[in-house]
């Protein structure tokens, strides 16, 4: 497993150096319209365990970030406790944060664990979700990612 992790970090370093995935210098992975999660519903991730695209009709703003939902019920659920539904690491790839970088994830690649959801980068060369799962030590990865996030969320 350590070889997988070392290979993974090398791959992530390669991605950083080639700028295939530009790092966002904000604490939230948002587009130019301040829309989080590429418009996917945070309530769907956490409560249903599925990735569902929200709609403009059902949106909420929390700390200047806009979230979309699939229904008025989802919007209401979020509005009652928005902090519960925020993505880990501002919506950036959890494995990237573990490796010390911010990458935009694929909204369909995620894991729900212990009442939180984590998003992951995915492309033809790298499936960060599988790398995270292959390590088979969520606690260790999480501890390192949490430590790294304290620094990364402040970078410009």
42 and 19 fall within a common domain: no
95 and 146 fall within a common domain: yes
CA Rg value for the chain:
15
Q: What is the pLDDT of residue 26?
A: 59
Question: What is the distance between the alpha carbons of residues 78 and 98, in angstroms, rounded to a whole number?
Answer: 27
Domain range for 47: 37-85
Question: What is the distance between the alpha carbons of residues 60 and 72, in angstroms, rounded to a whole number?
Answer: 10
57 and 133 fall within a common domain: no
67 and 114 fall within a common domain: no
Number of domains in the chain: 2
Q: List helix spans (H) across the chain.
A: 2-18, 42-43, 72-80, 82-85, 94-99, 128-135, 138-152
Of 101, 122, 102, nearest in space to 110 by CA: 122
The two structure tokens encoding residue 28? 């939230």
Question: What is the distance between the alpha carbons of residues 121 and 5, in angstroms, rounded to a whole number?
Answer: 15
10-residue averages of pLDDT along the chain (156 residues): 52 44 52 85 97 97 95 98 96 95 94 96 88 89 95 82
49 and 102 fall within a common domain: no
Q: What is the pLDDT of residue 20?
A: 39
C-alpha distances in angstroms, 85 versus 31, 81, 103, 124? 19, 7, 20, 29
pTM of structure: 0.80
């Amino acid at each position: 497993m350590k070889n997988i992790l070392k290979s993974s970090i090398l791959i992530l370093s390669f991605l950083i150096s080639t700028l295939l995935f530009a790092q966002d210098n904000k604490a939230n992975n948002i587009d130019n319209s301040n829309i989080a999660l590429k418009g996917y519903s945070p309530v769907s991730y956490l409560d249903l365990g599925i990735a569902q695209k929200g709609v403009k009709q059902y949106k909420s703003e929390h700390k200047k970030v806009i979230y979309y939902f699939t229904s008025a019920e989802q919007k209401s659920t979020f509005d009652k406790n928005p902090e519960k539904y925020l993505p880990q690491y501002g919506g950036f790839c959890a494995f990237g944060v573990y490796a010390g970088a911010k990458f935009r994830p694929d909204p369909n690649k995620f894991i729900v664990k212990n009442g939180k959801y984590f998003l992951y980068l995915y492309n033809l060369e790298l499936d960060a979700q599988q790398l995270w799962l292959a390590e088979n030590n969520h606690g260790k990865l999480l501890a390192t990612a949490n430590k790294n996030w304290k620094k990364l969320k402040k970078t410009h």
